[in-house]
Amino acid sequence: MAKRVLVVEDNELNLKLFCDLLRAHGYDTEPVRDGREAVTRARGFLPDLIITDIQLPHMTGLELITMLKGDTRLRTIPIMAVTAYSGRDDEDRVRAAGANAYVTKPISVVRFIGEVRGLLPLEGEA
């Protein structure tokens, strides 16, 4: 059974890119365009990994990560933050909020998939 990834990204092109890359590497994806929907969708989809942008409308990715980590059903799901922020302080804040991985935009496809596999190995890769 394929591992499931919830992708939270408001930019349509990035959302499509991330989902297409993940599907091409054997993952099932659930796209979400708004952080306000992400917790509810995560509860229904029960992903094995959550990938979220940090710059989202209506709520920040940091707020979303905090909410996910505060939810007893979702707190153990690894989170990968993808962001245009690239400063050391930015990464420290994102990791302090609970993200397990941090990837900067524009993404390197190799690094993106490498981080995903590090958090969520496919069957036979562990």
Give me the pLDDT at residue 86, please. 74
pLDDT tens figures, 74-117:
999 999 999 987 777 999 999 999 999 999 999 999 999 999 99
What's the rounded Cα separation, in Å, for the pair 80 and 65?
Answer: 10
Those residues with Cβ within 8 angstroms of residue 85's Cβ, 6 or more apart along the chain or in another chain: 54, 55, 91, 94, 104
What percent of the residues of the chain are helix, what percent strand, and what percent coil, each to the nearest 5? 45, 20, 35
Tell me which residue of 80, 28, 27 sits closest to 53, measured CA to CA.
Answer: 80
pLDDT tens figures, 53-83:
999 989 999 999 999 999 999 999 999 999 9
> If DSSP codes are grouped into helix, strand and coil, which group holds residue 47?
coil
Give me the pLDDT at residue 119, please. 96
